[in-house]
Amino acid sequence: MTQLSTLPVPGRERLICALDVSSPSAARDLVDVLGESVAFYKVGLELFMAGGYFELIDWLVARGKRVFVDLKFFDVPETVRGAVRGLRGRGVSFATVHGNQAILEAAGREKGEVKILAVTVLTSLDRGDLDDLGFRCDVEQLVLSRARRALAAGCDGVISSGLEAPLIRAELGDRILVVTPGIRPVENRPDDDQKRTVDVAQAFANGADYIVVGRPIRQAADPRKAAEGIQATIGTLFAQ
């Protein structure tokens, strides 16, 4: 069953491009190459460690881009609360938080205008990885449990594989945002660290509000053309 998002958001903002590059200058170069083909960017841990993180966020916001801070805050609740507070007033749209209920609640209380997304299960993990980490439940059960807890804690949404998105939609409906990473246009290569993946059309059919796409855009021979191809698919899906 198709579960297309009913979120009232411009279609071109449903694509979030992951700026998983080694430096702010490389990020700016990619943004310039992509031009108007991308309106929303994820800025993650690699760029945070490269320096100039907040200057890059300011640069993106000044150009009318939406920003997703993907640092997966995971610390004692008071520290997470302070970290989330530090994002307010910067034009940041989304931020990720990981951890137990107290951590999620601390982020939810301090979020202001920033929408907080709780991590469910990383798309780089499969059943064997979860066994290694000591989780004995099914991936689907774990994702759904974490989505329920995130909503109860005051979070706005979750990061979820497209494979589990239908379960979240079936139980929680439109009360929660679903952001789906691990998008692959074709079958995964053996060396790809993303394991639980779907393509663009399937992610949205399964209920994603937004998708995060990195390597299929960055590593394309023509990144702008690759992004526009994804936007065309999104436009077709939400024109129905």
The shares of helix, strand and coil residues in the chain, as percent rounded to the nearest 5, are: 45, 15, 35
Predicted confidence at residue 189, as pLDDT, reads: 46
Joined together, the tokens standing for residue 94 give 């989304």
Predicted confidence at residue 239, as pLDDT, reads: 83
* Marked catalytic residue, from 42, 65, 72, 225: 72
Domain 11-232: give its CATH architecture.
Alpha-Beta Barrel (3.20)
Per-residue model confidence as pLDDT tens for the chain (240 residues): 678 999 999 999 999 999 999 999 999 999 999 999 999 999 999 999 999 999 999 999 999 999 999 999 999 999 999 999 999 999 999 999 998 999 999 999 999 999 999 998 655 545 554 455 455 556 677 778 889 999 999 999 999 888 888 889 998 999 999 999 988 664 444 444 444 468 999 999 999 999 999 999 999 999 999 999 999 999 999 985
Length of the chain: 240
Count of other CB atoms within 10 angstroms of residue 112: 13
72 is catalytic: yes
Domain boundaries, the chain: 11-232
Q: d(Cα 10, Cα 127) in Å, to the nearest integer?
A: 36
Q: d(Cα 116, Cα 110) in Å, to the nearest integer?
A: 10
Predicted confidence at residue 219, as pLDDT, reads: 92
CA 57 to mean position of chain CA atoms: 16
For the four alpha carbons of 227, 230, 236 and 240, in that order, the dihedral sign comes to negative
Q: What is the pTM of this model?
A: 0.89
Predicted confidence at residue 15, as pLDDT, reads: 98
Concatenated DSSP letters of 143-177: HHHHHHHHHHTT--EEE--TTTHHHHHHHHGGGSE
